[in-house]
Amino acid sequence: MQYKTKSVASFVVAILSLVSPPISANAPFELMGKTTNTGHKTSYMANKKEVSLPVTVINGEKEGPVLLLTAGIHGDEYPSMFALQQLQQSINPKEMSGVLVVVHLANLDGFHEHRLALNPRDEKNLNREFPGSADGTPTEQIADLLTKEFISKADFLVDMHSGSANQSLLNHVYSPFIGDEALDELTLAFAKATGMQHIVLYGDRPKDPNNSISYPNTAMTRGKPGLTTEIGHLAQSKEEFVKDAFTVARNTMVFLDMLEGEPAEHPEPIIYETLKSAKSTTTGFFQPAVVIGDKVQQGQEVGTVLDYFGNQVETITAPISGTVMMVNQTPPIKSAESVVTIGVEVVQ
């Protein structure tokens, strides 16, 4: 397989040599008991015990890597769900290299019950339950299945999110690092290849594969690049959000030479070394004083809290100077909850 830059290619070779034996895209691809032959596409419900996942497998005509794209880890984050439906419909397996595995909606119960982040069957956040447990609660079972059946067969993962119903956000991609130089550099190259401008370096997850916590970190701790994208917000499915998510997903396939196309790296990427949140110390109604993309100075007002009677009880200020990445956009706020998240750029 060919990659877009020589430096990236050397990392890919290094990484692929670490993962247990490479799966030939020329062979039939088996997933959850279903086989997708070379040059074919299958969409089906992958079922095991209490878990049911809508999945598409596209087994390309030519050899290449296995890319896993996932939407709906949180059930009210819709743009990438629509984007991945459109992506699978747009691809002709005869013209594709490698294998694309799409999990269209990982938290089906959260989706149907209109839940913000959690699974109503056990009130757990799937993105905090990895690597999961085959005998655990429904959310732990989903995590276990994604770890053992999906990540184990993939070379690259993109976990696609959006802002929930209460949250506006500036589109961004998390590029995790775990202290493995080759893997970390390949992951950053992969993050840049999404074409997204705002890239957040992220290194605060455990390095233990048996306590990987999040979905992308489960990939990282198994030697595979795992990105999180955040595209669109406020539980909306606006056409522009869906289009952005579609473009990002497609760009990752172009980077991996699964589809024809030109590299889409943003001409002016902005890399953030950390995110810091301003939190409320009171409970009541939050009113933001900033919008996503604003540049704020440490100490600047970012919002106020009113009590239930309309009296202002708190002025919240920026804990650090930077760019406003996320805002709690709806009124309900409790003490210690995050109201505004600020990205701090890497000093060049």
Per CB under 5 A, residues contacting Zn ion are: 74, 77, 161
* Residue with Cβ nearer Zn ion (115 or 161): 161
Round to whole Å and give the CA distance between 146 and 137.
14
Question: Closer to Zn ion at the Cβ: 77 or 149?
Answer: 77
Report the nearest approach of Zn ion to the CB of residue 271 (Å): 22
- In the chain, how long is the greatest CA-to-CA distance? 67
How far apart (Å, rounded) are the C-alpha atoms in residues 255 and 313?
50
Residue 60 and residue 39 in contact, taking contact as beta carbons nearer than 8 Å: yes
What is the nearest approach in angstroms of Zn ion to the Cβ of residue 173? 13
Name the minimum Å distance from CB 233 to Zn ion: 10
Residue placing its CB nearer to Zn ion in the complex, 36 or 214 = 214
Q: Which is nearer to Zn ion, 248 or 305 (CB)?
A: 248
Q: Which is nearer to Zn ion, 127 or 304 (CB)?
A: 127
Smaller CB separation from Zn ion, 77 or 314: 77
CB of 285 to Zn ion, least distance (A): 24
Q: What minimum distance in Å lies between the beta carbon of 125 and Zn ion?
A: 9
Q: How many C-alpha atoms does 81 have within 13 Å on its Cβ side?
A: 19
In whole angstroms, give the CA distance from residue 141 to residue 267.
41
For residue 199, the minimal CB distance to Zn ion (Å) is: 18
Long-range Cβ pairs for the range 202-210 (8 Å, 24+): 202/174, 202/175, 202/176, 202/177, 202/228, 203/176, 203/177, 203/178, 203/179, 205/176, 205/178, 207/178, 207/179, 209/131, 210/131
Sequence-ordered alpha helix ranges (H) in the chain: 6-18, 79-90, 108-112, 138-145, 181-193, 215-220, 239-255
Bond preceding residue 131 cis, omega within 30 of 0 = yes
The residue (of 9 and 116) whose beta carbon lies closer to Zn ion is 116
Minimum gap (Å) between residue 78 Cβ and Zn ion? 11
Q: How far is the CB of 77 from Zn ion (least distance, A)?
A: 5
Give the pair of three-digit tokens for residue 163: 């802002």
Q: How far apart are CA 24 and CA 18, in angstroms?
A: 15
**Cβ closer to Zn ion: 34 or 128?**
128
